[in-house]
Structure 1
């Protein structure tokens, strides 16, 4: 099976050379727009491409406002600040995630509260969240959600749409409303994914995208906040050093952040966004081929949840056990076909070992079994 998988992957990418997990593709006007930025001399935080990229991304995601920043982690940090997360607060999130999700919470001097994921979405479980809150939390006289022991405020809920697969948003929204939690979506991996016809990142107070080099489209490094006009205006102010517009004076009215996306990166993003529909189509073709390949095998391909349209950013399989997972990882990587295990649980990292948590049975089960497969956009004509 493993030899046939290696051959299958090589057939998709038409090469016997090393195959990365997810590489960027530059087939459009990237060079033209980047050179235009260089020629204009506006390569830093001021330039027409930043405004254009924000408007084009807002249109693509059908979001009222999009605000570009330097990376996805910066976007998460600002999103949590705009959700009024303050030092000492708890933020509900999943332990099965990339570390940036939790680091952004720490930037606010808050702490993560880990609940389990659902196996069919790999994302935060509304059922697990409601169960933990029902046993350990209450709503105080001011309407805040607090822990029964210690009376710590639980301010926000930060799910991640793992590998581009949306979480159970309807049920999660209902739990957040019942427990007075602000929903912030970590949609870093889900550009081009839809939950019941609506783009991810548009369900909470704020959603966050990432354009890192390994994402479905890239600006080299970059992120985006999706939100409404009022919060978007505030986000733009905070991420541009809280500077009051003036023809020549330097006036800053609060502590701001130099999180601006450079015009050079935005130009790359504009060119990539022009190709995004084709990228998404290619990745669905690849996902369908993987699903067909694994039919009848003891490796279970990860598929989009019912009612969702996933971008299939990273394809993956669920192995029967850790031994099979390790054999798959060794065989493919030894053959020059990059595969990777899912992240180690955040609760295993020394910085989050002592965080509050509920049972993490599903997260632990997936951690021991999930392997990601090469998922780059297919070569032209493949």
Structure 2
């Protein structure tokens, strides 16, 4: 059975060589724009490609302001600072995520609370959030507090896992009810939409990532998305060392951060954005091929986009029957030069987060024992 899958992968990627999990597509104007950037000498944080990249992303996502950062993790940290997260606050999020989500929370010395995910989305479950808050939270003077720890519950950070949108509208309503800020970790979901609206634009702030393995890449990089233009302008100010504009004086009016994306990285981003529609269409075709291949398979289930959503299918995922079959699949495919990988180690099982609050994480653990990511690069 696994041998047939290896043959199928080689046929759709038309190769007998190693098949990576997700390689970047760099066949547009990347070299041209890089040369232009180098020739201009504006390779650092000032240059036309930075502005153009922000404008292109703002137009694509229908945000009122987009602000580039050096990477997605820094962008998420800054997003949490912008919505008022402080030391010892609690942040509701999911244990099924890449460690950057939990790390960004830790940079502020806040405390992640890991709640369960939905079977339909692999993302933070509104039902789990509502149930946990009903049992543990109360509103005092317009803020939400944990009755057991006495800490303020300041924000909620859902992550759109592998590009599949969470049930974001329900989370928005719950956060409003409990006076909690919603910050979307949309690092993996550029090109994903919920009811026609781009992910990362439902909360107070949304965060994208352009790491080398993402749908588009700037080598490294991230982006903050805002509907509140004034907050976005303030984010841009903080990300550039909070320097007050002046032709020669160096005056800073706040504690800022050196989170600026260099112009040379933004040049890559502009070239990548020009091919985004093609990349997404190609990846969607691949997803349909996987869907067809696995439709009658009783041992392996292909994970499809949730209801009322359009996923970017950043990383395709399948579900094996149990941990044993998961390991067998991983071993066989990787032994045969087809790169596959399990889902991340759960945040709640890592030493630095093992004492954090959870709600039992039933679905989360179920996924951990079954999920395997399979090749998802653009096919030529």
Q: Same fold (TM over 0.5)?
A: yes
In structure 2, the partner of 1:375 is 376
Q: CA RMSD in A?
A: 0.6
Quote the offset at 1:119 in angstroms.
1.1
In structure 2, the partner of 1:171 is 170
Three-state SS of the structure 2 residue aligned to 1:253 is coil
Quote the offset at 1:339 in angstroms.
0.1
In structure 1, the partner of 2:83 is 83
CA deviation string 1:349-375 (max 9, x = no partner): 001011111120000000000000000
Count of aligned pairs = 378
In structure 2, the partner of 1:363 is 364
Quote the offset at 1:215 in angstroms.
0.2
In structure 1, the partner of 2:205 is 206
CA deviation string 1:313-364 (max 9, x = no partner): 0001011111110110000000000000001110110010111111200000
Three-state SS of the structure 1 residue aligned to 2:37 is helix
1:48-59 matches, within 5 Å, as 48-59=48-59
In structure 1, the partner of 2:345 is 344
Three-state SS of the structure 2 residue aligned to 1:203 is coil
In structure 1, the partner of 2:182 is 183
Three-state SS of the structure 1 residue aligned to 2:351 is coil
1: distance between equivalents of 2:241 and 2:324? 50
Name stretches of at least 5 consecutive residues in structure 2 with no aligned partner.
none
CA deviation string 1:76-133 (max 9, x = no partner): 0000001100001000000000000000001111110111000110000000011011
2: distance between equivalents of 1:241 and 1:160? 28
1:37-52 matches, within 5 Å, as 37-52=37-52
Quote the offset at 1:150 in angstroms.
2.8
CA deviation string 1:184-217 (max 9, x = no partner): 0000000000000000000000000000000000
In structure 1, the partner of 2:269 is 269
Three-state SS of the structure 1 residue aligned to 2:353 is coil
1: distance between equivalents of 2:240 and 2:251? 12
1: distance between equivalents of 2:59 and 2:31? 23
1: distance between equivalents of 2:77 and 2:63? 20
2: distance between equivalents of 1:270 and 1:87? 37
In structure 1, the partner of 2:160 is 161
2:17 is aligned with 1:31: no
Name stretches of at least 5 consecutive residues in structure 1 with no aligned partner.
none
Three-state SS of the structure 2 residue aligned to 1:52 is helix
2: distance between equivalents of 1:74 and 1:39? 29
Three-state SS of the structure 2 residue aligned to 1:85 is coil
